DNA sequence: TTGTAGGCGTTATCAC
DNA sequence: GTGATAACGCCTACAA
């Protein structure tokens, strides 16, 4: 029962031939006689020989491994990215090694070091919300390990990235609000440090400008994603005489939290406030009172495209890796009230 | 810019000392002089030397890698498992390489072969719904690669596993139904081939027996998780004169589908039917009309405990790896109707 | 057609 | 205190 994996060396000894003969026989090298090949094949079969990939990769000086750094695995958005990446990587013979930064910059730096130690062939990353400089990723690239940023794009430096066109997504949502007659539209955004927050806000502004609607600065707030902070923001808005009748939120989960806060603390006003967020979570369709719409992104496609881009980059020598940004469309999905 | 990772060998050449001296210096070996150590440390710093883990693992004949095989990454339950596993593995210096079987037995077998080729130190698996024999996993164990089964436990053979006590979970749910006065309680179960389906049903039967309620065989059906099949089952029940007033479903997503089917096709009866499923999905709390309850499992804990068990097993020689099953409690979480 | 030798990056066991 | 050497599993250019 308890066996160790057989090696070509052992097989060579058993058969009384050289190691290289066994190796060549296994690889169907033309210079090996049929008889020998058959002997080797039979023995390999019998011992259930499986070549040691680790050794092969080691010799080839590559690991056929892609490192993936994500903020969280508890967020459906990131697991969808992971899902797309896994599919694409596996199809091309690459493994994924996956880890979570927990949205901590310190941890992210550790993970980058970890990736370098492990000599992954490339890295996919959705950087943490704390990440404001990208030196650690640049270091990785300077070691000839290409990096593709997913979803969260560093504006500060020129990098390879695949993101959602959240600016347009936000624009669509606010346009929809305006079409529906809303004039006081709030934006419950994510932290300013995240490029994706700034992009969202640009879209919000775009739509206002296009319709020549004034911006009310007090209607633009940033959350740290905590329920307390969200409540504080909603309170600040709803306690105004002219409270906003529409809210663009960072993502669906926050939409739901807003709606739950409204229901609990402002039940009489709840029906007057429309809310839209990013994500279009699978379960929204099952709600009796879903948000009026949701901005659907394509996270699995982000993962897939990022992986495919990374695979291309890995073929190229460093100097030829010209940077590019792919922005995938967002789609506004509306939910009719029953 | 374009550099290659420096090696001990290069540093040795640069410093004009031997490779082994450099190696020892880096590892702070006592037999190396302070001066040499400092020279080496300075150079390593300057070149940003990072040891090649792949080479180290290769020499140590281990990969410090755990293979994880999951049916899907699109299911929150499995990503929670993955999340728990990742945390535990990383804390102990192990990497995860992760892949999806897409609930296909053929693919699962490929992945097992893949794991063997890659010489992972151990495997965590939630087997596919098609898996009815476990020879491929046994083969893995016979190659001295321990396997821990998560959530989906093969009854047929003695293995290491960490699962939910779904039998008790189902019992709790049905007991709750009975306490609420329900007498015709249906079971929309998963495929019979999955042990977890059979366990769920045992719990369903347990509760009936304990309350001496008769079982109505037509109220027990198995879904393949498709919407069509679910509709067919719900139709078959709701078109009876005495339709069930309570349904135990395989998981929350199916609960939501049932509720949506009821709403669409049996709106007058909808309020008379209570539904409970497994999962207690995070978003249920935001629904205006959530299911009356949900059976909460501990997927992250399953991942964590399975990983910790696997790490233990990997320390032991094969013969001493006595099998065990850990069953984690389920908790019935009730939702009050507003 | 087959065998020999060298190397991938590292560590460990010696001998000096 | 330092260095030479072998070894891990595999591949491959070259020699026989």
Torsion, CA A295, CA A335, CA A275, CA B282, rounded to 10: -80
Q: Smallest Cα–Cα separation from A71: which of A150, A140, A163?
A: A150
pTM of the model: 0.93
Contact list in A for residue B2 (CB cut-off 8 A) is: 142, 144, 317-319
Q: Is the pLDDT of residue A325 over 90?
A: yes
Q: How far is the CA of B23 from the C1' of C15 (A)?
A: 18
| Residue with tokens 């955004």, as numbered in its chain | A189
* Residue linked to tokens 């593709």: A148
The model's pLDDT over A71-91, given as tens digits with 9 standing for 90+, comes to: 999 999 999 999 999 999 999
Nucleotide nearest to B32 (CA to C1'): D1
Q: Which residues from A are below 8 Å from B96, CB to CB?
A: 97-99
Rounded to an integer, what distance in angstroms lies between the CA atom of residue A180 and that of residue A175? 9
User: DSSP string of B215-228?
Assistant: P-GGGEEE--S-HH
For the segment A221-258, what is each residue's pLDDT rounded down to a tens digit? 999 999 999 999 999 999 999 999 999 999 999 999 99
Q: Which of A48, A82, A95, A144 to mutate to test the interface with B (most CBs of B within 10 A)?
A: A95
The pLDDT value recorded for residue B2 is 54
Q: How far apart are CA A227 and CA A214, in angstroms?
A: 29
Q: Tokens for B123?
A: 């495997």
A2 pLDDT band, cuts 50/70/90, is: low
pLDDT at B1: 44
Q: Does residue A36 approach strand C to less than 7 Å at its CB?
A: yes
Query: Taking Cα atoms as reference points, which of B48, B73, B53 lies closest to residue B63?
Result: B53
DSSP A214: P
Find the residue closest to D9 using CA and C1' atoms. Answer: A55
Across the interface, of B2, B86, B288, the residue whose CB is closest to A73 is B86
Place of tokens 């730096």: A109
pLDDT at position B336, please?
72
Q: Is the CB of B36 under 7 A from strand C?
A: no
Task: Specify the residue for token string 């394509």.
Answer: A298
Reply yes or no on whether the pLDDT at A192 is more than 60. yes
Calculate mean pLDDT across residues A298-306.
Answer: 98
| Alpha-carbon A9 to chain mean position | 43
Q: What is the pLDDT of residue A1?
A: 44
Q: What is the pLDDT of residue A3?
A: 65
Contacts of A59 (CB under 8 A, 6+ apart): none
Residue A118: pLDDT over 50: yes
C-alpha distances in angstroms, A180 versus A245, B16, B20? 11, 77, 74
Q: What is the mean pLDDT of residues A291-311?
A: 97
Q: What is the pLDDT of residue B3?
A: 65
d(CA B209, nearest CA chain A) in Å = 34
Contact (CB<8Å) A58/B54 = yes
For A118, the closest of B53, B74, B116 (CB atoms) is: B53
Q: How far is the CA of A282 from the C1' of D2 (A)?
A: 65
Q: Beta carbon of B285 within 7 Å of strand C? A: no
Measured CA to CA, the distance from residue B86 to residue B97 in angstroms comes to 10
d(CA A206, CA A167): 9
Cβ of B53 within 8 Å of Cβ of A3? The answer is no
In what order do the strands lie in the sheet containing A331-334? A220-222, A185-189, A246-249, A274-278, A293-296, A331-334
**What's the CA dihedral at A147, A152, A158, A160 to 10 degrees?**
40
Confidence of residue A337 (pLDDT cuts 50, 70, 90): low
- Which candidate, A165, A237, A177, places its Cα nearest to that of A203? A165
Q: What secondary structure does DSSP assign to B113-147, as a single string?
A: HHHHHTT-SEEEE---TT----HHHHHHHHTT--E
User: pLDDT band at A153, cuts 50/70/90?
Assistant: confident
From first to last of its 338 residues, chain B has per-residue pLDDT tens of 456 789 999 999 999 999 999 999 999 989 898 999 999 999 999 999 999 999 999 999 999 999 999 999 999 999 999 999 999 999 999 999 999 999 999 999 999 999 999 999 999 999 998 988 899 999 999 889 999 999 988 777 789 999 999 999 999 999 999 999 999 999 999 999 899 999 999 999 999 999 999 999 999 999 999 999 999 999 999 999 999 999 999 999 999 999 999 999 999 999 999 999 999 999 999 998 899 999 999 999 999 999 999 999 999 887 888 999 999 999 999 997 65
CA of A215 vs chain B CAs: smallest distance (Å):
31
Q: Inter-chain contact A80–B74, Cβ cutoff 8 Å?
A: yes
Sorted by sequence, the CB contacts under 8 Å of residue B119 that are 6+ apart come out as: A5, A52, A53, A54, B62, B63
């Amino acid at each position: 029962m308890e066996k160790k994996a057989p090696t070509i060396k052992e097989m060579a000894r058993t058969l009384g031939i050289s190691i290289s003969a066994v190796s060549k026989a296994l690889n169907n090298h033309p210079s090996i006689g049929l008889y020998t090949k058959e002997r080797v094949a039979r023995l390999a079969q019998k011992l259930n020989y499986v070549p040691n990939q680790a050794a092969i990769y080691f010799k080839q000086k590559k690991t056929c491994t892609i490192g993936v750094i994500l903020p969280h695995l508890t967020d459906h958005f990131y697991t969808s990215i992971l899902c797309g990446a896994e599919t694409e990587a596996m199809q091309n013979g690459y493994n994924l090694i996956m880890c979570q930064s927990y949205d901590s910059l310190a941890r992210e730096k550790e993970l980058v070091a970890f990736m370098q130690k492990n000599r992954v062939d490339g890295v996919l990353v959705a950087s943490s919300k704390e990440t404001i400089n990208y030196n650690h990723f640049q270091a990785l690239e300077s070691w000839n390990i290409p990096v593709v940023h997913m979803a969260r794009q560093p504006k500060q430096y020129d990098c390879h990235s695949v993101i959602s066109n959240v600016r347009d997504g936000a624009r669509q949502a606010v346009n929809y609000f305006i079409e529906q007659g809303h004039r006081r539209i709030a934006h419950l955004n994510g932290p300013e440090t995240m490029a994706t927050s700034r992009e969202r806000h640009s879209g919000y502004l775009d739509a206002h400008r296009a319709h020549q609607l004034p911006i009310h600065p007090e209607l633009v707030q940033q959350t740290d994603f905590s329920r307390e902070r969200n409540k504080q923001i909603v309170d600040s808005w709803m306690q105004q005489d002219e409270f906003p009748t529409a809210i663009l939120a960072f993502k669906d989960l926050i939409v739901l939290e807003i709606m739950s806060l409204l229901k609990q603390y402002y039940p009489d006003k709840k029906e007057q406030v429309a809310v839209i967020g990013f994500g279009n979570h699978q379960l929204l369709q099952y709600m009796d009172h879903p948000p009026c719409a949701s901005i659907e992104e394509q996270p699995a496609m982000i993962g897939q495209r990022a992986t495919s881009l990374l695979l291309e980059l890995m073929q190229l020598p460093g100097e030829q890796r010209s940077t590019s940004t792919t922005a995938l469309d967002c789609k506004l999905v509306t939910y009719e009230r029953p």
